[in-house]
Amino acid sequence: MKKKIIFQKCNIYNLYFLFHIIFACLNDFIEFYIFYEKVECNNNFNKDIKRSYYLPAQILNLYVQCLSDFLALIPFLIRKKLIRKNKQWIKPLKPDGEINNDNQPLIYNDNKISESQKNNKKIILLCFVVAVLDFLMKFSIILYQIIFSEKYLDIFSFSCLVPFEITLQFVFSYLILKIHFYKLQYLSLFVNLGIFVIILIFDIIEIIYFRIGSIGGYVLLFYAFNIIFGSLEFSFVKKILIDGFLSVYLLMLIKGVMVLIFVIIFSIILFFVKGGDIFTKVLFFLKEVKFIFITIANIFCNFLEHLFAWLIIDKFSPNYYPFVLIFQDIGSAIIDAINEQNYKDNKAYNDYKEKRKWWDLTIRIVLYVISAICAILHNEIVVINICNLGSDTKYFLDLKLQSEEIYANTDDIDIIKEYETLGELGTERQD
């Protein structure tokens, strides 16, 4: 084949990526707006009082994320109604004189029931695992705020966390989903691993030499746990969707019910440990009617953000999610630039901005672009036909299958001779 770079066709499901990025950025903006308007702009609060609202803000976000899962009930009922409306029930006709033996016990029926029960137990167990991972992912952020109550959990854009999550997503898909890797996939994996190491070194240098208050080793550590739990959750979600024949909406509802139980238990423990004052401060964010509507909008944005993430996993695979991570981080950087004036009194941010060199940010952005290209190659959206890298891709395997079908079904003597000649030479034809 003469083409060295081959672009695969797009489909309507690619819009899920765009929708997820939009709602994720909108969700981040709403969360920032609620906290900034209620706490940072309150002239009656000194620094110590403002710091006491860091944990309540994260708890409110935990409740918002928990409640958002139950909105999946709406599309679930709509989908169920449409299936019931369009489904045609056909009763099997029995010939005259034939006895219906459906109720008679048969060995293979018993085996089917036994296998079905085992599969149901497996799916329930996997749903529980997904719920535990989802709660731990959310709890890791809360735990940081409990331990470091005077420092808000925040991280600047273009850090090592995105390439770390991309690498983990590839590895977990390989281990849990048994997704086979070819040359392009291994190339993408090792390049992303190298990018993660390089940016991690840059982040460690910033932590040691710049003494940045809002970016420290503990922040990276707790975010790392958050990413590990989230990446594992996505892989197990895909496994359930493959093996359990569940819809995304039903799975979100099941996960939401289980996580709600964990959140209630956590809230009771937190009440006895921290006292009722912590929940009074949570209600502080909902005192005004305007912020109640903003919080409701936050619930809907959370639901749509996670729904489109799971739809991407359902229609594609967890390995496609890195596209979202890269462009979402770029969107967060744009939001930070828009809100830059709000950080004018933040000493840590101003120190960081003064000390950070222009080449540091440039290198990070270039590495992010390389990471995005690797994600494109990993998922074979673009196939490179150089140094035999594309020989094992789905695109070329499909071409090979088509060629074999043409050879098997043709009566054209010229085509038959061409294939026989190629076979004698021990070569494979690539069109």
Residue 80, pLDDT score: 85
Write out pLDDT tens, residues 30-39. Answer: 888 888 788 7
The residue segments making up the domain with residue 69 are 5-87+107-392
Are 32 and 218 in contact by the 8 Å Cβ rule? The answer is no
Task: Give the pLDDT of residue 334.
Answer: 75
**Which of 216, 234, 235 is CA-nearest to residue 159?**
216
Assess if residue 46 is contained within a domain: yes
In a domain, 414, yes or no: no
* Range with top average pLDDT, 226-230, 341-345, 360-364, 422-426: 226-230
Mean of pLDDT values over 225-229: 93
**How far apart, in whole angstroms, are the C-alpha atoms of residue 29 and residue 285?**
16
The mean predicted confidence, pLDDT, of the chain is: 77
Q: Is residue 415 part of a domain?
A: no
Least confident range from 2-16, 54-68, 292-306: namely 2-16
Facing residues of 384 across strands?
5
Give residues with Cβ within 8 angstroms of 60, minimum separation 6: 34, 282, 285, 295
Sorting pLDDT into bands at 50, 70 and 90, what band is 273?
confident
Whether the per-residue pLDDT at 137 is higher than 90: the answer is yes
How far apart are the C-alpha atoms of 170 and 159, rounded to whole Å? 19
pLDDT in tens, 368-382: 889 888 887 777 766
Q: Is the dihedral of CA 371, 372, 377, 383 positive or negative?
A: negative
Range from 199-203, 297-301, 358-362, 419-423 carrying the lowest mean pLDDT: 419-423
Residue 101: pLDDT band by 50, 70, 90 thresholds? very low
Asked if residue 183 is part of any domain, the answer here is yes
pTM of the model: 0.79
| Model confidence band, residue 229 (pLDDT cutoffs 50, 70, 90) | very high
427 vs 44 pLDDT, higher one: 44
Which amino acid, residue 273? Answer: V
Give residue for tokens 């009722």. Answer: 276
CA distance 201 to 384: 30
Burial of 60 (0-12, 13-18, 19+ CB in 10 A): buried
Distance CA 209, CA 88 (A): 69
Confidence of residue 92 (pLDDT cuts 50, 70, 90): very low
- For residues 141 and 223, what is the distance between their CA atoms, to the nearest angstrom? 7
> So what's the pLDDT on residue 359?
75
Residues 348, 330: Cα–Cα separation, whole Å: 22
Average pLDDT over residues 197-212: 79
Distance (Å, rounded) from C-alpha 231 to C-alpha 61? Answer: 20
Q: Integer distance in angstroms from the first to the last C-alpha of the chain?
A: 6
254, two tokens: 């099941």
Mean pLDDT, range 33-56, rounded to an integer = 80
Contacts 24+ apart (CB under 8 A), 185-194: 185/378, 187/374, 187/377, 187/389, 188/374, 188/375, 188/377, 188/378, 189/378, 191/370, 191/371, 191/374, 192/163, 192/166, 192/167, 192/371, 192/374, 192/375, 193/163, 193/167
- Could you tell me if 165 and 230 are in contact, meaning their C-beta atoms sit under 8 angstroms apart? yes
pLDDT 10s digits, 237-254: 999 988 877 889 999 999
More confident residue, 99 or 9: 9
Share of the chain above pLDDT 70, in %: 71
pLDDT of 307 strictly over 50: yes
With 0-12 CB in 10 A as exposed, 13-18 as middle and 19+ as buried, what is 153?
A: buried
C-beta separation of 234 from 169 below 8 A? yes
Looking at per-residue confidence, does 422 or 318 come out higher? 318
- At residue 422 the predicted structure's pLDDT band, cuts being 50, 70 and 90, is very low
- pLDDT of 418 over the 80 cut: no
In a domain, 425, yes or no: no
Q: Is 230 exposed, middle or buried (0-12, 13-18, 19+ CB in 10 A)?
A: buried
Number of domains observed in the structure of the chain: 1
Confidence tier at 91 by pLDDT (50, 70, 90)? very low
Task: Examine residue 26 and state whether it is found in any structural domain, yes or no.
Answer: yes
In a domain, residue 403? The reply is: no
Specify the pairing of strand 382-384 against strand 5-7.
antiparallel
Residue 91, burial from CB neighbour count under 10 angstroms (0-12, 13-18, 19+): exposed
The residue with greater pLDDT, 294 or 32, is 294
Q: Is residue 100 part of a domain?
A: no
pLDDT band for position 340 (cuts 50, 70, 90): low
